Amino acid sequence: MGRVLIIGAGGVGTVVAHKVAQNSDIFTDIMIASRTRSKCDAIVEAIGNPAIQTAQVDADHVEELVALFNNFKPELVINVALPYQDLTIMEACLQAGVNYLDTANYEPLDEAHFEYSWQWAYHERFQEAGLTAILGCGFDPGVSGIFTAYAAKHYFDEIHYLDIVDCNAGDHHKAFATNFNPEINIREITQKGRYYENGKWVETGSLEIHQPVTYPHIGPKESYLLYHEELESLVKNYPTIKRARFWMTFGQEYLTHLRVIQNIGMARIDEIDYNGQKIVPIQFLKAVLPNPQDLGENYTGETSIGCRIRGIKDGKEHTYYVYNNCSHEAAYKETGMQGVSYTTGVPAMIGAMMYFKGLWKRPGVNNVEEFDPDPFMEQLNKQGLPWHEEFDKDLEL
Ligand code: NDP
């Protein structure tokens, strides 16, 4: 029924591959392609299904992608390479007539800045080609938007306040490591903060605003306001929102390392000359930091990500909190990866499943909250990310 091509063989790609392979009634033909083919082969070996094909591809080059697509003929591509490759993969999808799904919005390599405008600009071309593009289908972005859509569909006439809260209370027992691609992660966190209020974006210093937030089964954790891409599409798709913010927890050790990395220039994204060779400091840093894919083995604790929403239903104000907690150990046992890769890869697989079931098929470029959240929410419970709801409680925020 479903011929799927996964691009990217990192932590997230590994989880996507495991979950796709587990759902063989939907995904009948699978290929994993990435820059380093041996990583794709290692995933296939770990899954133990030799029918999964692998290939080498440099996804920065449209013509290489088109050749691969024309050869394997996937119906859908799951892009879990890096945000830098979003536009080349979308372009190749248009040229080869393939549908598209990703988990992170486009970011130019030479500018630490992300926004949807670059990908939304493809809307008409996807529409005219009769192809579906599903943007931002990881956990956040991804499930955060689906949780919001579910709240809007079932519990609110108008959503007024939205706070997305993302806690990682896990311990990988390393002095410093990032949970997904270090380059992307450090670029995201060292940016200025931003939130939406009364029709305008308010800019803050980097990690300037913070407060303790209590997470289920975890307790209070200092949470920092940062800009996150789903805020852009959610305030557009839910115009009744008066304020939308995103919070993420960080430990003191992590923040101290981050400050030092920035202060000594290792977070720089411009080229410098080193012994007559051009290098980009943050890319060099990535090479010496622990690989997020290797963190799983001793990772203890859990993540807790959810949406805290205030709005009105039948003229009365209500609050709603919907969240998932994910154990790093359980994620590792199932896929060999830690919880952050798991919470991203499972929703990407479910999004692809929604497409193949014909439930999320709409020509054009779509953010996840534009589709029916119900079948997706049902699958989260079945595929390893069960969610919980709390009604009319103090949201703390
Ligand atoms: P990794 O760095 O572990 O993996 C990235 C993979 O992409 C690697 O296999 C890499 O190949 C491959 N790749 C990089 N460049 C190219 C290229 N030009 N052509 C082909 N393949 C390439 O990252 P993660 O798995 O941690 O993250 C994957 C994606 O998921 C990122 O876009 C990240 O932003 C997103 N993400 C989304 C989240 C969400 O909740 N929405 C949360 C976490 C991550 P190689 O091995 O050769 O380097």
Distance in Å, CA 83 to ligand 1 centroid: 8
Given the CA of residue 136, which atom of ligand 1 is nearest to it?
41
309-348 per-position pLDDT tens digit: 999 999 999 999 999 999 999 999 999 999 999 999 999 9
User: Can you give the pLDDT at residue 271?
Assistant: 96
Euclidean distance between CA atoms 307 and 389, whole angstroms: 10
Check whether 145 has a pLDDT greater than 90.
yes
Give the rounded percent of residues in the chain with a pLDDT score beyond 70.
100
Distance in Å, CA 166 to ligand 1 centroid: 20
219-251 per-position pLDDT tens digit: 999 999 999 999 999 999 999 999 999 999 999
User: Can you give the pLDDT at residue 110?
Assistant: 87
Given the CA of residue 58, which atom of ligand 1 is nearest to it?
19
> What's the longest Cα–Cα distance across the chain?
68
**Taking residues 253-266, what's their average pLDDT?**
94
Check whether 113 has a pLDDT greater than 90.
no
Q: CB count, 10 Å around CB of 198?
A: 8
Query: What 3-state DSSP class applies to 313?
Result: strand
User: Can you name the residues that pair with 162 across neighbouring β-strands?
Assistant: 244, 309
Report which DSSP code applies to 138.
B
β-strand 364-367 against 210-215: which pairing, if any? unpaired
| Mutation pick for ligand 1 pocket among 181, 286, 341 (CB with most ligand atoms within 8 Å) | 181
**Taking residues 53-64, what's their average pLDDT?**
98
Check whether 187 has a pLDDT greater than 90.
no
Residue whose Cα lies nearest atom 2 of ligand 1: it is: 181
Euclidean distance between CA atoms 10 and 16, whole angstroms: 10
Query: What 3-state DSSP class applies to 163?
Result: strand
Check whether 164 has a pLDDT greater than 90.
yes
Distance in Å, CA 84 to ligand 1 centroid: 9
User: Can you give the pLDDT at residue 73?
Assistant: 98
pTM across the whole model: 0.97
Distance in Å, CA 184 to ligand 1 centroid: 9
Q: For all residues of the chain together, what is the average pLDDT?
A: 97
Distance in Å, CA 121 to ligand 1 centroid: 23
Nearest CA among 57, 48, 60, 54 for reference residue 91: 60
User: Can you give the pLDDT at residue 112?
Assistant: 81
User: Can you give the pLDDT at residue 188?
Assistant: 87
Given the CA of residue 141, which atom of ligand 1 is nearest to it?
41
Report which DSSP code applies to 142.
B
20-41 per-position pLDDT tens digit: 999 999 999 999 999 999 999 9
Alpha-carbon distances, residue 95 vs 30, 136, 283 (angstroms) = 21, 22, 31
What's at 312, amino acid-wise?
I
User: Can you name the residues that pair with 204 across neighbouring β-strands?
Assistant: 193
Residue whose Cα lies nearest atom 41 of ligand 1: it is: 138
Residues shown for the chain? 397
Given the CA of residue 182, which atom of ligand 1 is nearest to it?
2
Check whether 1 has a pLDDT greater than 80.
no
Strand locations in the chain (E):
2-7, 27-34, 53-56, 76-79, 99-102, 132-135, 158-168, 193-197, 200-204, 210-215, 219-225, 243-249, 272-274, 277-279, 302-313, 316-327, 364-367, 387-391
Euclidean distance between CA atoms 319 and 368, whole angstroms: 23
Spell out which residues line ligand 1, taking CB within 6 angstroms: 8-13, 34-36, 39, 57-60, 80-83, 85, 103-104, 138-142, 180-181, 184, 292-293, 340, 344
Given the CA of residue 142, which atom of ligand 1 is nearest to it?
41
User: Which residue is listed with tokens 């996807």?
Assistant: 126
Check whether 281 has a pLDDT greater than 80.
yes
Check whether 96 has a pLDDT greater than 90.
yes
Residue whose Cα lies nearest atom 32 of ligand 1: it is: 82
When pLDDT is cut at 50, 70 and 90, the band that residue 211 belongs to is very high
**Taking residues 355-369, what's their average pLDDT?**
98
Between 4-13, 51-60, 171-180, 299-308, the lowest mean confidence (pLDDT) is in: 171-180
Quote the tokens at residue 340: 């952050």
User: Can you give the pLDDT at residue 278?
Assistant: 97
Distance in Å, CA 8 to ligand 1 centroid: 6
Between 18-22, 233-237, 290-294, 298-302, the lowest mean confidence (pLDDT) is in: 290-294
Quote the tokens at residue 349: 């697989």
